[in-house]
A = this chain, B = another copy of it.
């Protein structure tokens, strides 16, 4: 497997575009299109929030029932959530408009929205935007990049990646893009993520691979504990790599899963590190847990703790907060038998062991905690399972961004 340049247009037969549609933002691209020249199998995971945005409801229905899909239309600025029947009508109009211009059925067009909840999308602007998108779509790296930029809300950087892997004697390409960066606490999936691949694989295995993957990738990140109404992760596979269709598990399936995991972990980490107001990626690695689920629960509890996040922002070796967060996670362990370490590119410090703080230099600890990526390593001494979760620090800017997000 090797990483290559690009994102959603890296795989064969995929095109993309970004365009200015002034849905809510002005003077920036705020709509994106992903299009496949050939029909695609599709897999998806969606928010578990009971309040599901209209596009989530539209896409779920398509992922479950459509024989194939061929395009995704995305807008940023307005989430089309809590918008009632008018919101659902908007999805239908979007899909019909894009389908007509692309020459595919409306049932082959997925839609996604991100931004403010509760506002209606101006439909005329959406359809004008779709016309622009269709007219400029292309298979260039730049087109993929335009799409990755257009879906951003409070993100500070676009997030895209692509890899190639040999499967069944053919070169298979997988590319992806996603956006955060607030209301991020995925459960089944992330805010918005789109992965395109030219692999030939059955719909069942595509969904199986995605569902298994998100448990330890997108579902292990959190920016603020708020599970969005719009979380959507889609994988489109058009089969143009020319490999024999993967219809059962085995080495080909495993190779695909491994490449997929590289993509999802990269995107998930990027999303955590670019959380609203973040100055650092805050990683918690738990080892020696009694079960895999315990490991996940413990790691997530630490990166979700407001006090731990604030300590990371302050480069403060306040290890008690991390131990406290492990303690209220719900997983069983013996607090007298835990080892805690801080580590980063600036070094590693053993800070707590056998129920007591260890001697350490505050200066050294501050140095370790001042890196752009900081890891809390917790050895629970309960078993052999491990898991990693990713979040970000809690800064003044998180408050600033969210105290008046709508303006």
Contacts and interface: CB of A to CB of B under 8 A. Distances in A.
A311 B116 CA distance: 12
Interface in A220-273: 224-229
A355 B85 contact: yes
Contact of A50 (B116, B187, B306, B328): B328
A244 B308 CA distance: 50
A357 B324 contact: no
A51 B399 contact: no
Contacts of A64: none
B86 A182 contact: no
B399 A332 contact: no
A343 B402 CA distance: 21
A355 B82 contact: yes
A226 B307 CA distance: 7
B324 A229 contact: yes
A318 B116 contact: yes
A86 B398 CA distance: 39
A326 interface: yes
B357 A227 contact: no
A365 to B, nearest CB: 11
A118 B319 contact: yes
A317 to B, nearest CB: 8
A407 B187 CA distance: 37
Contact of A357 (B119, B228, B229): B119
B354 A82 contact: no
Given A49-B327, A119-B357, A313 B403 contact: yes
A325 interface: yes
A25 interface: no
Given A307-B182, A355-B82, A399 B323 contact: no
Listed from nearest, the 9 A-B pairs whose CB atoms lie closest are: A117-B320, A314-B403, A51-B327, A310-B402, A84-B355, A227-B328, A118-B320, A49-B327, A224-B306
Interface string A56-98: 0000000000000000000000010111111000000000000
A356 B305 contact: no
Nearest to A183: B307
7 contacts: A52-B327, A85-B355, A117-B318, A227-B328, A314-B402, A316-B404, A398-B399
A314 B404 contact: yes
Given A320-B79, A327-B49, A328-B48, A399 B396 contact: yes
Interface in A311-367: 311, 313-314, 316, 318-321, 323-328, 332-333, 335-336, 352, 354-357
A342 to B, nearest CB: 13
A402 B311 contact: yes
Contact of A399 (B305, B319, B399): B399
